[in-house]
Amino acid sequence: MQREFLALALCCASLAASAQLADADPDWKELDAPPPPALRTSGLIAIDVPGSSLHFGVDPNSVAIGTDGVVRYVVVAQSSSGTVNGIYEGVRCSTGEVRVFARHNPSSGWVATTESPWRALSETPNNRYSLTIARDGMCLGQAPNQDKATILRDLRTPADRKFTGSGG
C-alpha cells in the first residue's frame, strides 16, 4: 500500500511540475485528432479508479501515439445501472495535461467537443480516471510510454504488481 501511495505521489508531483514548466517546446503544434473509432464495450482494459461508482475501461484498439506526442484513446465508463458513455481524449505527457476530443452517449453517438482546452491532470477531480490512465500506462515520466504495445502491457498489469519488477 505504501509503495502504491509513493508511486502515485511521485507521479502527481512529476505531472504537476511538468505542467508548471510550461512548454519545453514553444513551437509545439497539436495535430488534428482523427475521428473517434466506433465505440466498443467488449475487450476493454479495466481501469481501477478507487472511490468511483463507475467502471472504466480503455479500448486497446483506440490507443495511438501521435507524432505531436499526444497519446489518444477511448475510455468507456459504465454505471451500475448499465448506462455506457465513451470519452475520446488525449494525454500530453510532457506537460501533464488531458483534453477531451469527443463524447459518446447512447442517444447521440459521438459528439465532438468544440471548446475543450488542455487541462492539468492534477486539476481534473471529476476525471480521476485520466490521471489513473496516464499514470498506469500512457506516460512514462514526462513522455509517452515507449509504444502502443508497452502502453497496453502496462495498463493490463495489476496494480499490486506495478513497480515491483514482476509486471507484464
- pTM: predicted TM-score of the whole model, two decimal places: 0.81
Domains, the chain, with CATH or none:
2-161 (2.40.128)
Q: What is the pLDDT along the chain (168 residues), one digit of tens a residue?
A: 444 443 444 454 444 444 444 456 788 999 999 999 999 999 999 999 988 899 999 999 999 999 999 999 999 999 999 999 999 999 999 999 999 999 998 888 999 998 889 999 988 667 799 999 999 999 999 999 999 999 999 999 986 666 555 555
CA dist., res. 136 & res. 131, Å (int): 8
| Backbone phi, psi, residue 100, to 5° | -95, 130
Task: Name 112's bridge partners.
Answer: 102
Q: How far lies 101's CA from each of 18, 44, 67, 87, 133, in Å?
A: 22, 19, 17, 8, 16
Please report the sign of the dihedral spanned by the C-alpha atoms of residue 47, residue 52, residue 55, residue 61: negative
How many of the other CB atoms lie within 10 Å of CB of 23?
A: 11
